A = this chain, B = another copy of it.
Amino acid sequence: MLVVHKYGGTSVGDLSRIENVANRVAKAKEAGNDIVVVVSAMSGETNKLIEYANYFTPSPAKKEMDLLLSAGERVTAALLSIALQAKGYDAVAMSGRQAGIVTDTTHTYARIESIDPTAMQNAIKEGKIVVVAGFQGVSKEGLVTTLGRGGSDLSAVAIAGALHADQCEIYSDVDGIYTTDPRIEPNAKKMDTISYDEMLELSSLGAKVLQNRSVELAKKLNVKLYAKSSFIDNEGTLITQENNSMEAVLVSGVVLDKNQARVTLRGVSDRPGIAAEIFTRLANENINVDMIIQTTGTDGSTNLGFTVPQSELQNARRVMEKFDHDIEGMDFNDHICKVSVVGVGMKSHAGVAAKAFSVLAASNINIQMISTSEIKVSMIIDEKYGELAIRMLHEAYELDK
């Protein structure tokens, strides 16, 4: 079996942890597998290098940042290969370039365009364990590029796809995907399996185990993805294509996202296209609008509400202030949160959303906004009820069973 392992910054955070990773990789090799390992920078390294650059300017050039930041993963790859060799295994370290990863020229947030797996395949044929520096590639112009935060996951999935690996195991300090955050609900259960689509909804909602880009790519390339712990031994969670047994499960998980703020525009003038104009301006400023609600009062005046990440609230306020002739008043509220219920079972079962509404109503929690997708219901509520709502929903959908 050909398996791609990926170890994040915490898993390779110091030399003894790199040794621990070497032991895990060695064990997988001894079990008769071919192994490609993708590694992140040692935890703290990337932030340290960013701080170094920010000593000179808050906005360093992106090409320079890529040359700078790619150094961290190269160091880890070399060290892990050395650790494996010290244990008697034939290993070879490769930079992103040497592994054949070609990206576009969008420095610091490059997209992988192609992978030439020849060098990795040749090394595998020679019985070598291949250790690849994650997070990086090379543009067609020959310059080092990086893939953005979480880019090492992306490297691992793309490499698994290019090598037609049997599975891709993403190791972190979390041992899988849970029905909800165990710090909020101690009865949260680790899931054995989850579909790509559910995972996408969960990760975009704040579950930090896997980056959306990686899950999307895994879905596209049909890569079997495991979320596993690098510290304890258990099966982790398999993220894969939706199958029949999954549909039997109504709801997979519930998620709390506290990084939300709500903007309410009162008395928006009724000239045509005003809403489009507002959201275009927000988009031009790279402000990520999530949920939108529009209400028309009995007097014909229109109120417009929408949510943005808390970090973008000030920017949103600045944009809105330019509309002073078109808006009577505005409210900004960052004491809200988003509670979401996710599950592929919703597709074939009615009443999932209704149950969520009645559960919250039973606890006198007011729902300010609602948005739904095929496999998700999200509700904006007062921030102080967030944890309570999660616990009530977790119990109501019997996720602890």
Q: How large is the interface on A (under 10, 10 to 19, 20 to 34, 35 or more residues)?
A: 35 or more
A93 to B67, CA, bound (A): 8
Interchain CB contact under 8 A, B74 and A67: yes
Q: Scan A65-77; emit 1 where CB is below 8 A from any B CB, else 0.
A: 1011011101101
**Shortest beta-carbon distance from A19 to chain B in Å:** 7
Contacts of A19 in B (CB 8 A): 55-56
A68 to B18, CA, bound (A): 14
Closest to A42 in B: B52
Q: Given contacts A19-B56, A92-B63, are A78 and B83 in contact (CB under 8 A)?
A: no
- Interface residue A130 (Cβ < 8 Å from any Cβ of B): no
Query: Residue among A63, A67, A70 with the most chain B CB within 10 A?
Result: A67
Interchain CB contact under 8 A, B56 and A79: yes
Contacts of A67 in B (CB 8 A): 74, 77-78, 93, 95, 133
- Interface residue A82 (Cβ < 8 Å from any Cβ of B): yes
- Interface residue A296 (Cβ < 8 Å from any Cβ of B): no
A63 to B86, CA, bound (A): 14
Interchain CB contact under 8 A, A74 and B68: yes
Within the complex, which residue of B15, B53, B72 is in contact with A82, where a contact is CB–CB below 8 Å? B53
- Interface residue A379 (Cβ < 8 Å from any Cβ of B): no
Interchain CB contact under 8 A, B95 and A75: no
A78 to B29, CA, bound (A): 37
A65 to B55, CA, bound (A): 29
Q: Given contacts A55-B15, A79-B53, A79-B56, are A85 and B61 in contact (CB under 8 A)?
A: yes
List, sorted by A's number, 12 A–B pairs whose CB atoms are closer than 8 Å: A15-B55, A52-B75, A56-B79, A56-B82, A57-B85, A57-B86, A61-B82, A64-B81, A68-B78, A68-B82, A71-B71, A71-B72
